[in-house]
Amino acid sequence: MADDPLALFDAWYAEAKAAEVNDPDAMALATASANGAPSVRMVLLKGHGPDGFIFYTNADSRKGQELAANGQASLLFHWKALRRQVRVEGTVEEVDPAEADVYFATRSRDSQLGAWASEQSRPLDRRETFEKRYEEVKQRFEGQDVPRPERWTGFRVRPTRIEFWTDRPHRLHERRLFVRDNGGWTEGLLYP
């Protein structure tokens, strides 16, 4: 068995990018409020490596607030074409502002403007209100680069557990679990 779950993730992710028709970087992000109420939604993986798995959002959004209140999260990648899943659990930290700036600059201009126009997760009286805000922001930044809004940032999930699930006939699935232990990883199997 492999002893590096991050190298195994790299291999599986490369296969997913070749096999999945839509969004191989899509992952379910589960967070919880300070009192433990769970919430889950889909986000996109925007970076990964030895330090963890990165996604970006508005820090004032529901997920941002939950991450501030309870600095733990879980991710789930489901690659249906490959009949595989990867579950990641860990602690969460904000990325460095310079790192968020670099990623924000790679987004399409419309996505950058949308980050300014949206009060993500806040109540919206009607769609026209948001569209008007978008047009106002578009005019505000016309002819210039769009800077990253201060509250728009990235989060890194530093894994403490990574499970690799492979579909097998008759629900006799294979589950490999890696747990961070004193800076390294221990590996074991789980019953399906």
pLDDT tens digits for 94-136? 999 999 999 999 999 999 999 999 999 999 999 999 999 999 9
Given the residues 87, 109, 151, 171, select the one marked as catalytic.
Answer: 171
The answer for residues whose C-beta is within 8 angstroms of residue 44's C-beta and 6 or more apart is: 23, 25, 26, 27, 55
pLDDT for residue 111: 97
Assess if residue 24 is contained within a domain. yes
Q: What CATH code is carried by the domain that includes residue 28?
A: 2.30.110.10
Residue 171 bears catalytic tag: yes
Number of domains in the chain: 1
- Distance, in Å, from the CA atom of 4 to the CA atom of 144, rounded to the nearest integer, reads 45
Assess if residue 111 is contained within a domain. no
Answer yes or no: are the C-beta atoms of 94 and 153 closer than 8 Å. yes
Assess if residue 114 is contained within a domain. no
Assess if residue 123 is contained within a domain. no
Assess if residue 172 is contained within a domain. yes
For the chain, helix, strand, coil in percent to 5 are 30, 40, 30
* Full domain range(s) for residue 18: 5-105+151-190
